[in-house]
Amino acid sequence: MPAAILHNQIIPKQPATTEPASPMLIKVQNLSLFYGTAPALKNITLAMREKRVTAFIGPSGCGKSTLLRCFNRMNDLIDTVRLEGDLTIAGQNIYSADVDVIELRKRVGMVFQRSNPFPKSIFENIAYGLRLQGVRKKSELEAIVEKSLRQAALWDEVKDRLHESALSLSGGQQQRVCIARAIAIEPEVILMDEPASALDPIATAKIEELILDLKKEFTIIIVTHNMQQAARISDETAFFYLGTLVEYASTVEIFTNPKVKQTEEYVTGRFG
Amino acid sequence: MSRPRSFAAERFDYGSFLFTGLTAAATFLILAILAVILGHILLHGWESLSWRFITAGTEKDMFDVHKTGVFPMIIGTAARVILMSIFVVPVGVITAIYLTEYARASSIATRIIRGAVNNLAGVPSIVFGLFGLGFFINFVGQNMDAVLRPDSPDPLWGKPAILWASLTLAVMTLPVMIVATEESLRAIPQGLREGSLALGATKLQTILRVVLPQALPGIMTGAILAISRAAGEVAPILFTGAAYYMAQLPTSLTDQFMDLGYHVFVLSTQSPNIEQTRPILYATVVVLLLLTFALNVVAILIRARIRAKMRAVS
Amino acid sequence: MTSNTNPMRRSVGWLGLKRGHQAHPVEWLAEKAIFLISLSAILMVFLIFVFVAREAWPVLRGQANSSLVRPVIPVEQMDQLSPQKLQDYLGLTPKQYALMDQETMKSLMEVKIEASKEVPDDKDARLNTVSWRYLARPYQWTGYDHPVSIWQPVSPVPKFNIIPLIIGSLKATLVALVFGVPLALGAAVYVSQLAAPRYREWLKPGIELLAGIPSVVLGFFALIVLASFFQGLFGYQSRLNAFVAGIALGLAIIPVVFSIAEDALTSVPRSYTQAALALGASRWQAAWQVVLPAALPGVFAAAVLGFGRAVGETMVVLMASGNASIVSWSLWDSTRTVTATIAAELAETVFGGNHYRILFLIGTLLFVVTFLSNWAGDVIVHRLKKRLEGKI
C-alpha cells in the first residue's frame, strides 16, 4: 500500500485501528544496555500489544536493532553486553535466571537483515525448526512446510522445486524462505531486523504485503530505516535516537502529529 | 625541489631491476631444484616400475629389482596412516570446534591450548619416536601386559607394533588436523549460526546440524593433509614398529609392519651392494612420491573447490 | 495460542520455566566433554616431556654409573647380604628376584667376578663416564695427548661427550639457514609483491609442492645425487658432510619459511602498498620499505620455524651427513648431528642401559631447545606485532 507524500509530510495509509485494544504482550521497563561501560540503550520504556505491527525507526546506530535483539536474547551471544531493567513477555521476565533461552527463541522468532538460509534444500530449511522440536513424520512436515510457504506467499513459486537448494533462489525469495522458516514453528512474536533493506523494490513490496497478512496471527516488531515503509505497514511506531526512546505512539500520530520536535524533524527528513 | 620536465624515465632503475631480478631468481631457482629432484627420480625410477613391482612382495630375491615388489610396504604405510586418522580426526575436529565455537579469545585455557598446539607442531620428529617408545611402548604397553598377561614372559603390547606407531603419528599430526578444521569452521559466516540459534536450536545442535556439515570438505582436506604428511615420515616409526622384513602382512594391532620410507632409508644406508639396489631404491621412491603427491593434490583440489564455492555464495 | 493438532512438543505455560541452562543436560555434558578432549593437546606436550625425560632420569640426576670398576662381593658372602642389597648388586627387578633360586643367583655372582677380571687395563675404566663432567667437557682419555671431546659409545670405555653432536647439529643448521632462508624469503617477496597476481596462483602451490616431498626422499636425493655433484664441484675429500646435509636441510625448510613469510606479506593491507606507490615509490621500494617492515612479525616467525625445523630434522642428516662424530668446525668434514645419533644408535642399545639413557637424554635436550626457541619466537613475534600496532 503506497503512502502519499505531500510537502515533506508522510501520510500513512493505515487507518487508525478500530479493533478493540488487545492486551499488552511485551513490556519494556527502564531497560538500559551497555557494551562493557559504553551505553547503547538508555532507559527504554514501552509496551507493545498482541497481533500488531510495531516499527522501530531512527537514524543508523541509534540502537533499534540492539533493542530488537533483546527480545529473543540474541545479545547474549556478545560477551561484553550488560543489561539493566526489565523485559517481560506475557508477564514473564525473560531475563530471569530460570528462563530457558532455547524455549524463548521458539516463541520469539527472528528474520535477519541479510537473508541466511541454510545451504540445504528449501524443504529442509523450513523443516529445520520442526525437526528440532521432534516432528518426524513426513506427512506432518510436508503439511507444515506447505502451510508456511503459503503464508509467506512463496508456495506457488517453489512448489515444484522444494528439494533444490535454497541458495538457488533470488534474494527476495531467499528472504521469504527465511520468513517461512521462522513462522513454521509458530512463534508468538516475530522480530524483523530490516528484512527488506537488501532487496529491490518489487521484492520489498511483496514482503510488506506479507507482513500485513502475517499480522493476523503474529505479533510483529520491525526495525526499518525506511520511514515510508514504517508508515505503510505498522500500527505503532517508536522513534529512537542515540539509544533513547524519543517518542512512541500510533503510526498515524507519529507521522501526522508528532509531539516531540525531534520526531517531527526526523519524519520530515530534516536529518537522518 | 627541481623536477624533471617530462615524465620519461631519465635513468635506468637499477634498484628495481636488481631487486626484482634477485627475488625472481630465487623463486625460479627453487622451482628448478624441485623440477630437477622430481625429474631425476622419475627418470631413474620409471624404468623399474611395473605392475608386478607394486603388487608383488619380497618373497623372492629382495635385492633383485626384477623379482622384488613393494606391496607389503604399500600396505604397511597405508595401514598405519588409516589407523592414525581414526585417532587424529575426532580429537582434532573436537579441539577445533572448542577453539572456534566455544572458547573465548582472551581466556587462559584458550591461550594455553593454542600454545600447546603450536609447540606440538614444532616438536622434532625423532622426539616423537622417543615419545612413542618411552610412553606408548614402555609405559602403556608394558602396563597392559602386566594387567592382561601377568604370567607371560614375552611382551605382546609392550613392544613395537602398528598400534603404537599409528598413535605416535596421530599425536604428531594433531596440529595439522586442528588448523585445517579451524580454518574451515571460521570460513562459515556467522549469519548461519545466528539463524539457527534464532530458531530455538541449542549451540550444540547448531554445530552438529548446520556448521559441521558445511565444514566437512575442509575437515576432509585436513585429514588428507595429515595422512599425506604421516605417510612420508620415517623418524617416528623407527622404534615404534617399522621393520625391514616381515614374512606376513600385519594382521593385528600388535604386529610390526614394513614401510616404503623406512625401506628406502635402510636400503640406502645399509645395502650390501649399492649398484644392485639402486634401481629398487629409485622405484620405491617413485611409489612413495606418487602416494604422497596424489594425496596432496587431492587435498589442494578439494580446498580450491571449497574456496571457489565460498566466493560464489557470499 | 497453540492448537491441539500441533505436533510440536511445547512445554506448559508460555515460557517453559525449566531451570535455565539445566534444561539441556545432554548438551551440558557434551560441552564439558568437548572441553576435556581439547585439553589433550596440552596433555600431549606434557607427556612427551615427561616420558622422554623419564628414560633419561638416572643420568639426568647423576645417579647412573658406568664405571667398569666395581666393588665385587665374593660368592661365599652371598648369604650375608640382605635381599634388597642382593637385588641391587645383581641388578634385578623385584619380579625377577622372586623368580630366581639360589643356584642361579650364585652363578650370577660368579659371572660378576669373572667380568671384573675383564676390565680393560685402562686408567679410565674406573671413571663414571655418564656423569655430567664427561658428558659436557673435554677430557684427556688414555691414548690422547690433549683433552678431547669424543662421542664413542661403543668402546671398552664408553665415551659420551655430546659436544661433537651439538657442533654437528649447529653446522648443518647454519648451512641450511644461510642457504634456505634467503631463498625462501626472496621467493616470498617476489610471489607476494612483485609478480603479477595471475602468476601467484600457480607459483605459490608450485613452491609449496616442495613440502610434499618426504624428508627421506630428500635425504636419498642428497645421498645419491647431491653428494657426488658437490664433490665434483668443490673437490673435497669426504663425500658426505655437513655441507651436503646442510643444503638438503635447506631444501627441507624452504617450503615452511616460504609459506609463512608469503602469508605474512600478503596479509599486509593493500592500502599500504597503494599509498607508497601513490607517493611515487617503485614496486620494489614499496615492497622493501613498507610491506616488509609491516610483515616483520610473520617473517621473523617464519625464520624461527625454519630454525626449529632444521634443528629437529632427522632423515636428511642421517642419510647425508656422513655420521662421523668428531669435533670439527669444517663444513667439508663428515659430521654427526644430535638427531641422527638418536636415530642411528637407539636400535642397537641395551634397553635401560647407559647408552640408551644418554640417547633419551639428548632427545630431551633437543625437545627443550625446540620448545624454548618456539616459545621465544612467539614472544618476540608478539612484541613485534604490538610495536607495529603502536601499543609499545
pLDDT, average across residues B67-93? 92
**Which of B11, B13, B126, B139 to mutate: most C Cβ within 10 Å?**
B126
Question: Is residue A206 assigned to a domain?
Answer: yes
Give B88's pLDDT tier (boundaries 50, 70, 90).
very high
Per the structure, the count of domains in chain A is 1
What grid cell was written down for C159? Answer: 665415551
CA distance B134 to B167: 13
Give A11's pLDDT tier (boundaries 50, 70, 90).
low
CA distance B177 to C41: 12
Residues of chain A neighbouring C17 (CB-CB closer than 8 A): 92, 98-100
pLDDT score, position B46: 87
Candidate from A92, A97, A186 with C-beta closest to C14: A92
pLDDT tens sequence across C115-137: 777 776 667 777 777 777 778 88
Give B85's pLDDT tier (boundaries 50, 70, 90).
very high
pLDDT score, position C198: 85
CATH assignment of C163-348, given 1.20.120.80, 3.30.450.40, 1.10.3720.10, 3.90.79.10?
A: 1.10.3720.10
pLDDT score, position C19: 53
DSSP string, B215-282: HHHHHHHHHHHHHHHHHH--GGGTTTTB-S--SS---STT--B--HHHHHHHHHHH-S-HHHHHHHHH
Candidate from A104, A132, A178 with C-beta closest to B201: A132
pLDDT, average across residues C157-180? 91
Check whether B93 has a pLDDT greater than 90: yes
B199/A178 CB distance under 8 A: no
C37/B20 CB distance under 8 A: no
CA distance C146 to chain B (A): 34
The residue extents of the domains of chain B are 28-313
pLDDT tens sequence across A29-69: 999 999 988 999 999 999 998 899 999 999 988 889 999 99
Neighbouring subunits of A (3+ Cβ pairs under 8 A):
B, C
What grid cell was written down for B137? Answer: 611402548
Mean pLDDT of chain A: 87
Of residues C353 and C367, more confidence is placed in C367
Q: Chain B contact for C173, CB < 8 A?
A: no
Q: Is B89 left (phi over 0), alpha (psi -120 to 50) or beta?
A: alpha
B199/A79 CB distance under 8 A: no
Q: DSSP 3-state helix, strand, coil percentages of chain B (rounded to 5)?
A: 70, 0, 25
Of residues C145 and A210, more confidence is placed in A210
Neighbouring subunits of B (3+ Cβ pairs under 8 A):
A, C
What grid cell was written down for C285? Answer: 621500494
Q: Which domain holds residue A99?
A: 22-116+187-267
pLDDT tens sequence across A245-266: 999 999 999 988 889 988 888 8
Candidate from C1, C8, C16 with C-beta closest to A100: C16
* Of residues B182, B36, B209, B216, the one with CA closest to residue B113: B182
CA distance C42 to C387: 29
pLDDT, average across residues C293-311? 91
Give B248's pLDDT tier (boundaries 50, 70, 90).
confident
Q: What are phi and psi of B140, to 5 degrees?
A: -65, -50
CATH of the domain at A35: 3.40.50.300
Mean pLDDT of chain B: 87
Give the least confident one: B180-184, B274-278, C336-340: B274-278
pLDDT tens sequence across C230-275: 888 888 888 888 999 999 999 999 999 999 999 899 888 888 888 8
pLDDT tens sequence across B117-150: 989 999 999 999 999 999 999 999 988 888 888 8
pLDDT score, position C52: 92
pLDDT score, position C95: 66
Cα angle C144, C150, C154; round to 5: 105
CA distance A142 to A164: 15
Q: Chain B contact for C315, CB < 8 A?
A: yes
**Which of B104, B197, B199, B205 to mutate: most A Cβ within 10 Å?**
B199
pLDDT score, position C94: 67
pLDDT score, position C283: 80
Question: Is residue A6 assigned to a domain?
Answer: no
Check whether B156 has a pLDDT greater than 80: yes
Check whether A233 has a pLDDT greater than 70: yes
* Predicted TM-score (pTM) of this structure: 0.86
Give A138's pLDDT tier (boundaries 50, 70, 90).
very high
Check whether B3 has a pLDDT greater than 90: no
Of residues B190 and C114, more confidence is placed in B190
pLDDT score, position C20: 56
Q: Chain A contact for C18, CB < 8 A?
A: yes
Give B54's pLDDT tier (boundaries 50, 70, 90).
confident
Q: How many CB pairs under 8 A join A and B?
A: 59
Question: Is residue A101 assigned to a domain?
Answer: yes
Check whether C13 has a pLDDT greater than 70: no
pLDDT score, position A1: 34
C41/B174 CB distance under 8 A: yes
CATH assignment of B28-313, given 3.30.930.10, 1.10.3720.10, 1.10.1200.10, 1.10.8.870?
A: 1.10.3720.10
Using DSSP, state whether A10 is helix, strand or coil: strand
CA distance A100 to chain C (A): 4
As annotated, the residues of chain C forming the CATH 1.10.3720.10 domain(s) are: 163-348
C190/B130 CB distance under 8 A: no
Across-strand partners of C159? Answer: C152
Angle between helices C163-189 and C242-266 (to 10 degrees): 40
CA distance C392 to C385: 9
